[in-house]
Amino acid sequence: MISLPSGRIVGISNIRARYHALRLNRIVMPDTPRYELYRLIDIVVPPPDCQWLPGNNAYVFSGHTLDELPSLTDWSKKDRRVFQAWLRQDTQVCEIEQVRRRLAEDQPLVAKEFPYSKRLYSALQRRIQALSLNRASPLQWRQTLLNLRRTGIRAEELEWSGLLLFLDKAHRQGKAMVARETLLNKINFSAIRLCLTHELATDRNCGLEFIELSQSKSRNRLGAIQKIAGPGEVCILRYADTMHYYKVGYVMRVNTKLKQERSLRWFALDTIGNLISSQLSGQTFFKDQEEAFKVASEHALQHVGIPVTYTPCSRYEHKTLCGGSEYREWLLTLPDYPISYHNKHYYERNLLLHFRTKIRHDQHGRRLLFIEELQSDWHQSGAMFGYQTRWPGRLPPAPFRKEWIGLALKLILLHGAEEGYDGVAWTKGDIHETHYQQSMAAVRRLYDELIPNTLLRLCEHWGGRIEKTRIITKEPRLHISRQMDKWFVTDPHGSFSTRARDSQKEAMQIMARHCKQIELDVPVLILDESSRKRIEEEGFPMFGERPTLPVR
């Protein structure tokens, strides 16, 4: 938020962008001008009963969007000028541009949410339930809660629970006694609600299965499709979907050889034989059959009701070791956190951390959930450059500052237990240094010390152990990079390079062909049937690493 010259406190929010787009019947395109996105961005203000302070950006919707700013008569020219300058800053530009990336028609993203974060319990709540104290004064309760820090309750959990603020307010209001049930009912972690998701991309080529037709020109020349052809041209149907009756063919001039593909104009027909035009360009003829297939599939998805399928996004799969399957990018966000933060890797607002995984098998045939990367841009940047607790704040503070590694590993263990994996493995620090082509002490410490030590603390009460095992992969000597829309395979010494490739998948195949197969030693936390059962039954605390048994 920003404080304007008049004293007015305002900010922006893109949370309701999809709602506004549906309400206004707006379609966001990759080339939609930024000022048109203003209709989808809310102007927000502090709650009426909230004394706004820098760094405490709780807000409510003002009822106006950015495009209505010129019509707001109670805004002065100076306020508008300062506010518009603020909108041009990087943080606000990212929040506005996020609308385009999330709603653009070329690749709409869908978030698949997982329930693991909801299974993290409050250790503070369980400890309060176990206390013998039923009623006490606000000051007595406050001191009791502070004393719980000596036995494992984290100060951050106390802060975010809201209990200390509630007790301070009760003391100021002169309340003599507070019941334990009242205190428990006041625990509220909604501001730091965790949301674990995968980003899924709509598969626009789903549903239609085209088969090749006979090349008999005499049959294909007949019928209504000849109205598509011009003088001296002939229409030839080449592919058809037998279930939904979509057809794809091309127009060519008579006496032109088929090998001259540039002379062909491809088209697509719907279920009743009407010519289909592209939603983006409006064109009815296309350069190749792949483009015609895509247009036909998009039309079927919109008009025939073919079930939509989704595929997990794989933006950074090229940064993984070769081999493995079921690559996933896991995003943990704070959707209700009152401060907005955006990073360079993903479009999600308030991305607290992300981790990337694959399924691999080791030398013993065990099925492992393999951590390719574990990262928090937010907190790792904060550790390097510091947090700005005062407005305007280049990097806002966030919860789980010292616990984000443990938080990620708790979710990974919950997923591993539910899916029945035999263990959780990860790459060592030297492999990541090879990828970044430089020595990185912080990265080595993360993968060689912090991850194994945290896992042992989380699992020591049921005898968790870390072993060494081996996986089959390719030597990580080559690297894939992207420039604009092209992919390149190189090595750090400049002795190997390829021409530009059109897709990430093609570049990964080239890298795999030119690297030797090796057996790589990796650490693994073993998950047997007993440990998986205990993880599912006991779970993990949201804050801290010591288990707290449920109150009977």
Q: Residue 336 sits in which domain range?
A: 317-476+515-541
CA distances 546 to 151, 458, 538, 550, Å, are: 10, 7, 11, 13
CB 20 within 8 Å of CB 65? yes
Q: Please tell me whether residues 426 and 351 are part of one structural domain.
A: yes
- Give the residue from 499, 511, 490 showing the smallest Cα distance to 318: 511
Q: Please tell me whether residues 376 and 435 are part of one structural domain.
A: yes
pLDDT per position as a tens digit, 223-240: 556 677 777 788 888 888
**Residue 500 covered by a domain:** no
CA distances 158 to 117, 178, 394, Å, are: 19, 17, 26
Residue 335: pLDDT over 90: no
**389 pLDDT band (50/70/90 cuts)?**
low
> In whole angstroms, what is the distance from residue 370 CA to residue 372 CA?
6
Q: Please tell me whether residues 62 and 30 are part of one structural domain.
A: yes
More confident residue, 284 or 414: 414
CB 470 within 8 Å of CB 427? no
Q: Please tell me whether residues 298 and 399 are part of one structural domain.
A: no
- What average pLDDT score do residues 349-374 get? 95
Give the end of a domain, one of 45, 78, 106.
106
CB 465 within 8 Å of CB 449? no
Q: Please tell me whether residues 357 and 444 are part of one structural domain.
A: yes
> Residue 476: how many CB atoms within 10 A of its CB?
19
**Residue 448 covered by a domain:** yes
**Residue 498 covered by a domain:** no
Instruction: Report the number of secondary-structure helices (H) and strands (E) in the chain.
Output: 18, 23
Which percentage of the chain shows pLDDT scores above 90?
Answer: 46
pLDDT at 55: 46
CB 468 within 8 Å of CB 524? yes
Give the end of a domain, one of 157, 188, 219.
188
SS3 510: helix
Mean pLDDT of the chain: 85
CB 360 within 8 Å of CB 218? no
pTM metric for this prediction = 0.72
Backbone angles phi, psi at 282, to 5 degrees: 80, 0
**Residue 66 covered by a domain:** yes
What DSSP character marks residue 450? I
Could you tell me where the DSSP H helices lie in 389-491? Answer: 404-419, 429-436, 441-445, 451-459
Domain count of the fold of the chain = 4
Helical (H) or strand (E) element with 536: helix 529-538
pLDDT per position as a tens digit, 4-27: 999 888 988 887 787 788 778 777
Instruction: Give the pairing type, strands 325-333 and 466-474.
Output: unpaired
Give the end of a domain, one of 154, 188, 222.
188
Q: Please tell me whether residues 346 and 461 are part of one structural domain.
A: yes
- What average pLDDT score do residues 446-471 get? 93
- Residue-by-residue DSSP string for 185-232: HT---GGG--EEEEEEEE-TT-S--EEEPP--HHHHHSSGGGGG--TT
**Residue 488 covered by a domain:** no
- What average pLDDT score do residues 469-486 get? 88
Give the bridge partners for 310, in sequence order. Answer: 202
More confident residue, 350 or 29: 350
Q: Please tell me whether residues 325 and 287 are part of one structural domain.
A: no
**Residue 308 covered by a domain:** no
Tokens of 446: 């993360």
Low-confidence winner among 147-151, 298-302, 329-333, 503-507 (lowest mean pLDDT) = 298-302
CB 288 within 8 Å of CB 261? yes
- Give the residue from 376, 313, 315 showing the smallest Cα distance to 343: 376
Residue 477: pLDDT over 70: yes
Q: Please tell me whether residues 333 and 426 are part of one structural domain.
A: yes
Residue 414: pLDDT over 90: yes
**51 pLDDT band (50/70/90 cuts)?**
low
Residue 401: pLDDT over 70: yes
Q: Please tell me whether residues 95 and 184 are part of one structural domain.
A: no
More confident residue, 28 or 165: 165
**Residue 369 covered by a domain:** yes
**216 pLDDT band (50/70/90 cuts)?**
low
Q: Please tell me whether residues 21 and 128 are part of one structural domain.
A: no
Helical (H) or strand (E) element with 140: helix 138-147
Q: Please tell me whether residues 323 and 182 are part of one structural domain.
A: no
Q: Please tell me whether residues 411 and 366 are part of one structural domain.
A: yes
**Residue 529 covered by a domain:** yes
Furthest CA-CA distance within the chain: 99
